[in-house]
Amino acid sequence: MKSSVLYRISPARRHAHLFDVSVQLEHEGEQPLTLYLPVWTPGSYLVREFARLVYEVRARCDGQPVAIDKIDKHRWQLAPCRGQVEVEYEVYAYDLSVRGAWLDQFRGFFNGNAVFMAVEGREQQAVLVDICRAEGMDDWRVATGMPRRGAAALEFGRYGADSYEALIDYPVELGPFTHLQFEVEGIDHHLVLSGRQRVDAARVAADLQRVCAAQIRLFGGAPFSEYWFLCNLVGDGYGGLEHRNSTALLCNRDDLPAPGAAEERSDDYLTFLGLASHEYFHSWNVKAFRPAAFTPYNLHQENYTRLLWAFEGITSYYDDLLLVRSGVLDAARYLERLSHTLTGVRRGAGRLRQTLEQASFDAWIKYYRPDENASNALLSYYTQGSLAALALDLDLRQHSEGQVSLDDVMRALYREFAGSERGIGEQEWEQVASRVAGRDLRPLFDRLLRRLDDLPLAQQLPQIGIELQWRQAASLDDKGGWKDSVRPRLDVGARLEADAAGVRLAAVYDDGAAQAAGLAAGDIVIALGGLRVNRAGWDKLLERYAPGETLTVHAFRRDELLCLTLECRSALPQVAGLRLQAGDWPLREDWLGLPSAAKA
């Protein structure tokens, strides 16, 4: 039995944003020793090449220097040697995202995939990690879900993990953060807030407690024995990454409630709670049970699966729905948020070019690498996936008169696959769902996942007591929501952003008036009908024209002035509105987790 691989990480050189890392192990084999850094982070489907941030790699064997060379973009190999090996290197850490590593004089953060080299062939062995305190860090503490192997709670010292894959699934926050602890169903939960902030942390913890309880109840148990929300609060940022017993979140400090803030939750705060709910739900859906394509993760290359719609789309479906079921969001506001999702999908032509399965498979080169044409070419397996999950859930509920729902499918997947060595095969997800439903769901999945059709929600929603309308946008900023009437409006078929020189076309939609006129994404419109225009005055200027009329557009493409003719067109009915129908709808109340008058 070989001794464990031991990692040491020190934040001493924080002004240079460098973590000093070493790997120590006993090497007795005949084969040369190879170490590598993953090329991607599980949960974020893009090859990111973490090895590009590694400098100054040196190796010793039994205290004597030994040669170590790069053999490809992310692997290093030692010259033949046997004995006690130590490899040292530094990692540049100035990535504020939740996927990499950060270090300055105020805080540190790392994901193992960015800092700890794996030892090829020994990935299944347990590892130890010494997180070292440096001078001048007396008020710094350590927050991580990584099991302690001697370190005191929240302290520097020795931690460990059962395998390399486990090691890189425990992000670590370092610094003088705010820490709160709360219990859910007997399990310790930790809320860690870093960054400059004045937040009512107790209120955030109380809301998270309700959301977490709803999720544990849904699955009938949790796959972890403790859980950590690691939140980095900044002026402008958004992101989250799921892990087995924690999540790293990046959010705007102003989105969280200030001490003494109004009782009502703001839309921005609900977005934060939705993000936290999303990542927490992933502890089951993609962590406890996951695609066979990720079992185990191949950390050297892309891992292809057509199932991302199920792992991201269904998680996106439940994130807000569970806010309703836990009582932090009311049904009317939930429908408002759902109408934004419907509107976002309908505005782009991506839904006519990619199916959900294709969008899942090509995430690595398409969704994660959007360009100016993304809204015409790409379907989001998050938003469209969440709507497909809604369609599936409603189909299950309606067919069984409320006896079977998507909750049952999720529980079945958790029961069958959690803790097993086996991932879910590409066809298997649908087979489990069909078995739970007690009928063949293949025709439904063909429609939801493999065809470019619109989803059947326009038929389904009224049957459970929800009215759906499709209407014109009332303004440039109209994201969706029910409106009894909307004034007719012209629309050029582009996403507009304010620009110092005029109005920037962030996206130009296929078959819209802007495209027909010859405008392209990136163009800056400076005048409409011979008058200077800015974003705030855009609609007011167009109000004086009628469909079919033409007007002159002046715009810059790079430094070249264009003079084009734009034909006015009515806005398309691409904005969704949803509202609750009056009366008692037991299927609806059951779905939303609300008390039904019929049941009462």
- Cα gap 368→50, rounded to integer Å: 16
170 or 309: CB nearest Zn ion = 309
Place of tokens 């894959």: 165
CB of residue 290 to Zn ion, shortest distance in Å: 12
CB of residue 284 to Zn ion, shortest distance in Å: 12
CB of residue 319 to Zn ion, shortest distance in Å: 8
CB of residue 106 to Zn ion, shortest distance in Å: 28
315 or 360: CB nearest Zn ion = 315
44 or 574: CB nearest Zn ion = 44
312 or 393: CB nearest Zn ion = 312
- Other C-beta atoms closer than 10 Å to the C-beta of 59 total 23
CB of residue 169 to Zn ion, shortest distance in Å: 15
24 or 315: CB nearest Zn ion = 315
CB of residue 548 to Zn ion, shortest distance in Å: 45
98 or 457: CB nearest Zn ion = 98
- Cα gap 326→310, rounded to integer Å: 22
The alpha carbon of residue 484 and the mean position of all alpha carbons in its chain are separated, in whole angstroms, by 34
- Cα gap 144→150, rounded to integer Å: 14
CB of residue 312 to Zn ion, shortest distance in Å: 5
CB of residue 363 to Zn ion, shortest distance in Å: 11
Q: What is the dihedral of CA 217, 223, 229, 230, to 10 degrees?
A: -170
Cβ contacts of residue 560 below 8 Å, gap of 6+? none
CB of residue 89 to Zn ion, shortest distance in Å: 31
Q: Is the peptide bond before 296 cis (omega within 30 degrees of 0)?
A: yes
- 427-to-39, 386, 431 alpha-carbon distances in Å: 28, 19, 7
Helix (H) or strand (E) holding 12: strand 5-13
Q: How many CA atoms lie within 13 A of 404 on its CB side?
A: 14
566: left (phi over 0), alpha (psi -120 to 50) or beta: beta
Instruction: Report helix, strand and coil shares of the chain as percent, to nearest 5.
Output: 30, 30, 40
Give the footprint of Zn ion on this chain (CB under 5 A).
312, 315
One-letter amino acid of 547: P
The alpha carbon of residue 321 and the mean position of all alpha carbons in its chain are separated, in whole angstroms, by 16
7 or 280: CB nearest Zn ion = 280
Give per-residue burial for 511-550: e unless 16+ CB within 10 Å, then b: ebbbbebebebebbbbbbbeeebbbeebbebbeebeeeee
DSSP state of 94: B
45 or 164: CB nearest Zn ion = 45
38 or 43: CB nearest Zn ion = 43
Cα Rg, the chain, nearest whole Å: 26
Q: How many CA atoms lie within 13 A of 141 on its CB side?
A: 14
